[in-house]
């Protein structure tokens, strides 16, 4: 009958990257038919997949072939004859389990005396009588006298040696890759340790800076409180003593000025009266002595007026000095307010930094 398919499914086929031995190279872009074939004459099982006119997969199953499920929908096996590792990805886990079960049954030694078929996705066996008879006869002859190893056993031994060599090479590559990865991880670990040390140092510096900022903030708060109390004292003192005193002096000086103005007005009236009297005296031809007396009286009154004017100018100078002091106090108050505004801005900045 030759080679016949016994079960077919669909899967995406992969092949191991022979350079790295760690990554997969897809042989197909999507899932394609993949079949188990049984050769009744040679008593062999193969996995074959063809896309168009190109054979994507042609792998013979031997008793030493091991199929491994590496993921929920992915499995792999090693093919020493092809010198590679094949991987298959299924659309669901059920197909993977059926594939694994048929693969396991196909690689077992007793399948050489049976014919493996699949019904509803489950493997079934039918006994091959000729194979069974040949097996029994060969067993009986072996009990009578020893028979040298056949060519099939030699091929099996060579296949085992090739697979062991391949697995050994694979383990060597994996060990070399592991050593390289270990060195890489050691370097990364050292980098992480260095970064951790730098971060620890930066954290300690930040902590010390925060403590220093707290001290400065406390100092600024104390200085602010001291200045606030000082301003309150100055305000109370200046307002209660200096300003009230200046205001009283100002009021007193204004009252004096008022009185002096009234006195000056009276003196002016008197001078006008005297001038009128003088004119009347001249008209009446007063004597020289009377005129001299009037002139002296006028001089005396003039000197009094000059003294009053001098006192007024002195008082006005005092008032100007007091106004200058008041201006200086107002300038001091404005400077203190500006300083308070700067301190409040600094305190808000420090609070934002602490919250951040």
Does the residue 201 lie in any domain? no
CA 341 to chain centre: 35
Is 196 inside a domain boundary? no
* pLDDT value of position 142: 31
In a domain, 152, yes or no: no
Q: How far apart are CA 327 and CA 160, in angstroms?
A: 110
| Residue 40 belongs to domain with CATH number | 2.30.29.30
Q: Which of 127, 159, 191 is the last residue of a domain?
A: 127
Mean pLDDT throughout 328-343? 86
> For 210-253, how does the pLDDT look when each residue is reduced to its tens digit (9 = 90+)?
788 788 878 878 887 888 888 788 777 766 666 677 677 778 87
Q: Flag whether 191 is in a domain.
A: no
Question: Is the model's pLDDT at 335 over the cut of 50?
Answer: yes
Crossing angle of helices 244-284 and 288-355, rounded to 10°: 160
Decide if 61 contacts 38 (C-beta within 8 A).
no
- In which domain, by residue range, is 315 found? 211-355
Q: Tell me: the pLDDT tens digits for 45-73?
A: 999 999 988 899 999 999 999 999 999 99
Both 228 and 351 in one domain: the answer is yes
- pTM for the model: 0.36
Does some domain include residue 350?
yes
Specify if 139 maps to a domain.
Answer: no
Give the number of domains in the chain. 2
Per-residue pLDDT of 130-143, as tens digits, reads 333 333 333 333 33
Q: What is the largest CA-CA distance in the chain?
A: 196
Using left for φ > 0, alpha for ψ between -120 and 50, and beta otherwise, residue 121 falls in: left
If asked whether residues 224 and 105 sit together in one domain, one would say no
174 found inside a domain: no
Last residue of a domain, one of 127, 152, 170: 127
Contact 117, 124 (CB under 8 A): yes
Domain boundary among 80, 102, 127: 127
Closest CA to 227 of 354, 344, 348, 349: 344
The backbone region for 21, taken as left when phi is positive above 0, alpha when psi lies in -120 to 50, beta otherwise, is: left
Report percent pLDDT > 90 for the chain: 23
CA–CA dist 59, 67 (Å, integer):
12
- Token pair 């040949």 is found at 134
Work out the number of other CB atoms within 10 angstroms of the CB of residue 32.
Answer: 17
User: Which residue, among 33, 46, 52, 54, has the nearest Cα to 81 in the 3D structure?
Assistant: 46
In a domain, 184, yes or no: no
| Residues 349, 227 within the same domain | yes
């Amino acid at each position: 009958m030759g080679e016949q398919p016994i079960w077919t499914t669909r899967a995406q086929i992969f092949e191991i990257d022979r350079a790295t031995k760690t990554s997969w190279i897809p042989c197909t872009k999507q899932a394609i038919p993949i079949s188990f074939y049984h050769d009744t004459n040679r008593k062999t099982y193969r996995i074959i997949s063809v896309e168009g006119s190109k054979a994507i997969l042609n792998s013979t199953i031997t008793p030493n072939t091991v199929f491994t499920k590496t993921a929920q929908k992915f499995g792999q096996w090693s093919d020493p004859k092809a010198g590679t590792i094949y991987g298959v990805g299924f659309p669901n886990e059920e197909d993977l389990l059926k594939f694994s079960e048929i693969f396991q049954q196909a690689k077992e030694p007793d399948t050489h005396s049976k014919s493996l078929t699949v019904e509803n996705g489950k493997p079934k066996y039918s006994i091959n009588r000729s194979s069974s008879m040949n097996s029994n006869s060969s067993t009986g002859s072996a009990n009578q006298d020893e028979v040298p190893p056949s060519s099939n056993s030699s091929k099996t031994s060579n296949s085992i040696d090739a697979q062991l060599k391949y697995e050994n090479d694979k383990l060597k590559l994996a060990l070399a890759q592991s050593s390289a990865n270990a060195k890489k991880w050691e370097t990364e670990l050292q980098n992480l340790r260095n970064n951790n040390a730098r971060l620890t140092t930066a954290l300690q510096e930040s902590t010390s800076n925060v403590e220093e900022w707290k001290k400065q903030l406390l100092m600024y708060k104390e200085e602010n409180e001291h200045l606030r109390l000082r301003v309150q004292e100055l305000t109370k003192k200046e307002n209660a003593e200096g300003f009230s005193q200046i205001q009283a002096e100002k009021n007193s000086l204004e009252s004096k000025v008022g009185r002096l103005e009234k006195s000056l007005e009276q003196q002016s009236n008197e001078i006008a009266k005297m001038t009128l009297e003088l004119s009347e005296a001249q008209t009446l031809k007063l004597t020289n002595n009377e005129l001299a007396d009037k002139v002296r009286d006028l001089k005396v009154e003039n000197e009094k007026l000059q003294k009053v004017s001098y006192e007024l100018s002195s008082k006005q100078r005092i008032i100007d000095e007091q106004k200058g002091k008041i201006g200086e106090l107002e300038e001091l108050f404005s400077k203190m307010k500006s300083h308070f505004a700067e301190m409040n801005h600094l305190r808000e900045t420090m609070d934002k930094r602490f919250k951040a």
